[in-house]
Amino acid sequence: ETGVTQTPRHLVMGMTNKKSLKCEQHLGHNAMYWYKQSAKKPLELMFVYNFKEQTENNSVPSRFSPECPNSSHLFLHLHTLQPEDSALYLCASSQDLPTSGRTDTQYFGPGTRLTVL
């Protein structure tokens, strides 16, 4: 148990559906991340939020829309996805903001296994 929870753990959706992934961290951290892990590819950073502000968008298609209402919650809204978007989506959090100049350990959630039909 890392202190980062994700729901749902598994999701199957059609290409016309709209769904949301949820992440919650109970660690009092200031930064939260979305990652994508596709089969046989390295983990890819999608978004970074620092204290609710998006600071990194790694050229992610607009069919993925993140939302960070507060520093403990992070959502990933999904709309008109493609089958190639099927992957494990991981959320993570870390203590520090980039202005601290420090690199901090990231704590990962268990992931949401997404299948797009």
Partner 1 sequence: KNEVEQSPQNLTAQEGEFITINCSYSVGISALHWLQQHPGGGIVSLFMLSSGKKKHGRLIATINIQEKHSSLHIPASHPRDSAVYICAVSRRRGAQKLVFGQGTRLTINP
75 is an interface residue for partner 1 by CB under 8 A: no
Query: Quick check: 112 and 9 in contact, CB under 8 A?
Result: yes
For residues 81 and 112, which CB has a smaller minimum distance to partner 1 in the complex? 112
Of 11, 34, 111, 114, the residue at the interface with partner 1 (CB under 8 A) is: 111
C-alpha 86/C-alpha 47 separation (Å) is: 17
Q: What does DSSP say about strands 112-116 and 10-13: parallel, antiparallel, or unpaired?
A: parallel
**Cβ-based neighbours of 40, under 8 Å, separated by 6 or more:** none
User: What does the chain come to in residues?
Assistant: 117
Q: Count interface residues toward partner 1 (CB under 8 A).
A: 32
| Burial (Cβ within 10 Å: 0-12, 13-18, ≥19) of residue 22 | middle
66 is an interface residue for partner 1 by CB under 8 A: no
For residues 50 and 81, which CB has a smaller minimum distance to partner 1 in the complex? 50
In the complex, the smallest distance separating the C-beta of residue 103 from partner 1, rounded to whole angstroms, is 4
Site for partner 1 in 1-40 (CB under 8 A): 2, 31, 33, 37, 40
Q: Which residues bind partner 1 (CB under 8 A)?
A: 2, 31, 33, 37, 40-45, 48, 50, 55-56, 58, 88, 90, 92, 94, 98, 101-111, 113
